[in-house]
């Protein structure tokens, strides 16, 4: 049976030299929870902090001096798609949104299709709002999600496929974009200060690559598309969210 496929380009806002991004394709029928898992997997995040999606009117890129601060408070949010915990309904940051949903219940095609069930809620002045994903409300890793293309796969296979990876993704708890810039600077300099050496030591301690870690090295595409790896990661994400459902029993899963 043919499957409708979305290709998304996800960029880490504020990153530079290069702009850190991941481009991947996933089924249009997947939920936002699975999009969360795909972003986590593609960027190497460890799913250990809070997150949410928003649809917002276009906004200017942050100035460098603003990149270390959370900027959610004064932005217009048309739709908030949260993790699905009961307390999410009471959070102040979501009260001004037109609508709030649980990521476990809402499918991507509900918003990204012209005839999507909830698309009208993400429109302003007739234009589709931009989609953002915020991970870690302390370090404030903001990602902009762009639907790059839509196609139909005749194979019927439902899976994540990473197509392009630009830049080394930051390490967890690196201190946001500003902190990540400082880590990259520490590795790039030929005459590091004591503070820079401490940053390099910390990065190698927390990175799975250990002493081989280098933020200037981009990961190979093959690393992302190992058979079965995302399925295992997705299972862990769902279990962490309190969803004990076995993905192997899901009729809409990538392995059928």
Please report where in the chains the tokens 């699975």 appear, as a residue: 34
Fold of the CATH domain 3-167+218-249 = 3.10.290
Domain boundaries, the chain: 3-167+218-249, 176-212
Degrees to nearest 5, angle at CA 245 with 37 and 107: 50
Q: Considering only CA atoms, which of 160, 78, 159, 147 is closest in space to residue 113? A: 147
- Do 237 and 31 touch, CB atoms closer than 8 A? no
| pLDDT at residue number 68 | 52
Q: What is the pTM of this model?
A: 0.89
pLDDT for res 59: 67
| Partners of 21 in the β-ladder | 11, 166
150-189 burial: b if 16+ Cβ within 10 Å, else e: eeebeeeebbbbbbebbbbbbbbebbbbbbbbebbebbee
Q: pLDDT 10s digit of each residue in the chain, 256 long? A: 889 999 999 999 999 999 999 999 999 999 999 999 999 999 999 999 999 999 998 765 555 555 455 454 457 889 999 997 655 555 555 556 888 999 999 999 999 999 999 999 999 999 999 999 999 999 999 999 999 999 998 887 789 999 999 999 999 999 999 999 999 999 999 999 999 999 999 999 999 999 999 999 999 999 999 999 999 999 999 999 887 654 444 545 544 3
CB distance 38 to 24 below 8 Å: yes
- Residue 79 CB neighbour total at 10 angstroms: 22
255 near 231, Cβ under 8 Å?
yes
H-helix or E-strand spanning residue 183: helix 176-188
Interatomic CA distance for residues 230 and 25, integer angstroms: 13
Task: Give the residue among 236, 209, 235, 228 at the shortest CA–CA distance from 220.
Answer: 209
Instruction: Give the CB-side neighbour count of residue 191, counting CA atoms within 13 A.
Output: 0
């Amino acid at each position: 049976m043919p499957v409708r496929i979305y290709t998304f380009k996800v960029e880490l806002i504020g990153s530079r030299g290069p702009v850190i991004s991941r481009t991947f394709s996933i089924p249009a029928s997947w939920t936002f929870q699975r999009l969360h898992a795909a972003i986590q997997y593609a960027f190497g995040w460890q799913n250990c902090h809070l997150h949410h999606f928003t649809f917002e009117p276009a906004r200017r890129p942050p100035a460098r001096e603003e990149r270390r601060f959370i900027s959610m408070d004064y932005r217009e949010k048309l739709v908030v798609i949260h993790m699905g915990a009961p307390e999410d309904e009471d959070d102040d940051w979501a009260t001004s949104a037109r609508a709030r949903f649980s990521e476990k219940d809402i499918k991507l095609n509900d918003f990204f299709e012209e005839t999507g069930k909830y698309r009208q809620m993400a429109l302003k002045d007739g234009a589709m709002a931009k989609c953002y994903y915020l991970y870690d409300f302390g370090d404030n890793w903001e990602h902009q999600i762009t639907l790059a293309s839509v196609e139909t796969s005749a194979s019927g296979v439902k899976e994540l496929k990473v197509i392009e990876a630009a830049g080394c993704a930051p390490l967890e708890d690196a201190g946001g974009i500003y902190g990540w810039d400082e880590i990259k600077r520490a590795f790039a300099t030929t005459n590091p200060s004591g503070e820079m050496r401490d940053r390099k030591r910390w990065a190698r301690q927390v990175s799975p690559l250990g002493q081989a870690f280098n933020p200037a090295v981009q990961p190979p595409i093959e690393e992302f598309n190992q058979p079965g790896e995302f399925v295992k990661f997705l299972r862990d994400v769902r279990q962490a969210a309190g969803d004990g459902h076995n993905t192997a029993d899901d009729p809409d899963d990538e392995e059928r």
